[in-house]
Structure 1
Amino acid sequence: MTEKHLEKATFAGGCFWCMVKPFDTQPGIEKVISGYTGGHTENPTYEEVCGGKTGHAEAVQITFDPEVFPYDKLLDVYFMQTDPTDAFGQFVDRGDSYRPAIFYHSEEQKKAAEKAKADLEKSGRFKKPIVTEIVPAETFYPAEGYHQDFYKKDAAHYEGYRKHSGRDQFINSHWKG
């Protein structure tokens, strides 16, 4: 039996609660952790990140088996969960801590992310420019325990938040149909 080769992918796409389930339910995904990255404060708290003074974005870090679910497919899932034309937040969540960003862990991930972004731009799917940042991965700080797997822990709250955030309506109007 051969040992699995696992990789990490890190994405920011607004509220991390809404970014876990779309990845967690895919084959080859070992774990999805909600957290903070891309800023200058060590071990930030949720309140500090939301306060906008840490420079961090809410993000998810995914441990995945690229033989089962390649990075390119992760990028497809990622873009379909976000508004890649909005640099100042996602849906009802506004501010730098909710910016869309791909934090690459290797030169291969960087190239794949740049290609996916360019392909999306060329597709004409959006009238505005694609502004998702593509930046090197930095230290990832896991969020507090109550944020982990929120869609499982408090399904009613999660579904209500998602419904009223505008995310699902955006996804349905831009990606489905």
Structure 2
Amino acid sequence: MSAGMRRLGLALLGPVLLAWAAYSVAAEDTVPAAGAETARATFAGGCFWCMEPPFDKLEGVLSTTSGYAGGPEPDPTYEQVARGLTGHAEVVQVVYDPARISYEELLQVFWRNIDPLAVDRQFCDAGPQYRSAIFYHDEAQRAAAEKSLQEIRTRFSAPVATVIAPLGGSFYPAEAYHQDYYLKNPLRYRFYRFNCGRDERLESLWGAEEER
């Protein structure tokens, strides 16, 4: 399913979108502030709708926010990103309690929910805006991400396309109707995910995984 088809599906929501208009675009207002007790991790794994559920299931994860990162343009919109005009990737930012779950554990879940061999695409979505990437927040995350990448490379004979890059503060929450899309629109979400062939490809790469 292309980004165009996704936009068509969203257009069909009509009254549903209007009902959610009251939901604040300032998604960070609902996210606990990162401080001594919390930390943030940012991952790009294709469609951000599909990257929220595996992290939301984890004990120690406090919130997930769909958004955009990795591009130079400020305040990008979904339409701009989906058309590949800004250099951003669709990402999910995870706020977590490092006393309850480690960054290394988040990395394990990230890898098993992406296709690390795909270049500038994930599953049915094509373009650099759907690239896979780990955007690290500090040097400790960078080191852990690099170590995990080396481990993943030993698993596959083909090159791993996932990149590791600094976040650089360039995370922009996506529009309100994208947040928790799988909860707000479960049937549409499952239809998209099935038609995109995501789970079939993930199983062929990693086997059956509970985190999905």
Cα distance in structure 1, aligned partners of 2:86 and 2:54? 27
Cα distance in structure 1, aligned partners of 2:101 and 2:119? 28
Q: CA deviation at 1:87?
A: 2.1
**Structure 2: gaps spanning 5 or more residues:** 1-34
Within 5 Å, give how 1:128-143 maps onto structure 2: 128-138=158-168, 139-143=170-174
Question: Are residue 38 (structure 1) and residue 63 (structure 2) matched?
Answer: no
2:136 aligns with one of 104, 120, 129: 104
Cα RMSD (Å) of the superposition? 1.2
Question: Are residue 73 (structure 1) and residue 101 (structure 2) matched?
Answer: no
Cα distance in structure 2, aligned partners of 1:90 and 1:114? 21
| Equivalent residue number for residue 154 of structure 1 | 185
Cα distance in structure 1, aligned partners of 2:160 and 2:58? 25
| Equivalent residue number for residue 168 of structure 1 | 199
Runs (4+) of structure 1 exceeding 6 A deviation are none
Cα distance in structure 2, aligned partners of 1:132 and 1:46? 22
* 3-state SS, counterpart of residue 101 of structure 1: strand
* 3-state SS, counterpart of residue 204 of structure 2: helix
**Structure 1: gaps spanning 5 or more residues:** none
Q: CA deviation at 1:41?
A: 1.0
**What TM-score do you get using the length of structure 1 for normalisation?**
0.94
Aligned residues: 173
Partners of 2:117 and 2:162 within 8 A in 1:
yes
The letter of the residue matching 1:8 is R
Partners of 1:4 and 1:65 within 8 A in 2:
no
| Equivalent residue number for residue 48 of structure 1 | 80
Quick one: percent identity of the two aligned structures?
47
The letter of the residue matching 2:160 is I
